Amino acid sequence: MAVTSTLNRFYLLLLAVAIAGGGILYWQVRGRVPSIPANVVVVATDTTGFSGYYLGKPDAPVVITEYADYQCPACQDFDVVQFPDVVRQLIETGQVRWRYRDFPLDGPHRSARLAQHSAACANDQERYWQQHALLYQGQGKWSREDEPSGTFRGYAKQIGLDVAAYDACMISAKYAGRIQASYNEGIAVGVASTPTFLIGGRLYEGVQNSDKLKRLADSLAGAAAGTR
């Protein structure tokens, strides 16, 4: 009986330690919710070797820059409805190189920078466009959440990221300056709303359908060909 009683106390002690340890770990995780600051000072290392997220051939005759916000409903409409046709008609054909730039509207869209940072962390593992797509597809869900970092983490798992590396990237907020630099660039060229597209030196505000973008790209490519 004495041996049994001693063993029981030993196992109870182990259980208590395990529960306590689990609780400590839980609160450590809960206490490290990612937060991406706004209006940070941009330093040279934030932009060295980086000018946006690109899709398409580097030698495409036309570059289209999209300034957008993952929490913007119109941006979601463009990405989900129009962008697949843009990819098929313009990017995969080699006519356009697409350049995506973050333009967070911090007032109405409190989780925009967090979403942008999530995509930047996915880019570390060469899964930027996969995370980009899920962020827009899931916007209706996560935009209603008080703290959507767990949802973004779920997307990271879904696309096969090393989640530990992703978590470390998010907690570090290391791309806050990159996001701010992107926003500053948009302000400098005259962007005032999202989505806005920079095409041939002109800004086009609001959702643009794929047919209009193709006409603009055709015109620019033709003009470029005529000057050779």
Residue pair 182/120 in contact by the 8 Å Cβ criterion:
no
Torsional sign, CA 210, 221, 58, 42: negative
Instruction: Determine, yes or no, domain membership for 38.
Output: no
- Flag whether 36 is in a domain: no
pLDDT at 188: 98
Cis peptide before 58 (omega within 30 of 0): no
Q: Tell me, what amino acid is at 149? A: S
Nearest to 120 by CA among 42, 180, 190: 180
Q: What pLDDT digit, counting tens, does each position of 31-55 carry? A: 578 999 999 999 999 999 999 999 9
Give domain status of residue 19, yes or no: yes
pLDDT at position 163, please? 97
What is the pTM (predicted TM-score) of this model?
A: 0.84
The whole domain housing 111 covers: 44-226
Residue 174 forms part of a structural domain: yes
Structural domains of the chain, count: 2
Do 107 and 6 fall within a single domain?
A: no
- Residue 138 placed within a domain: yes
Q: How far is CA 60 from the centre of its chain?
A: 24
Are the C-beta atoms of residues 160 and 127 closer than 8 Å to each other?
yes
Residues of the chain under the 70 pLDDT cut: 1-31, 224-228
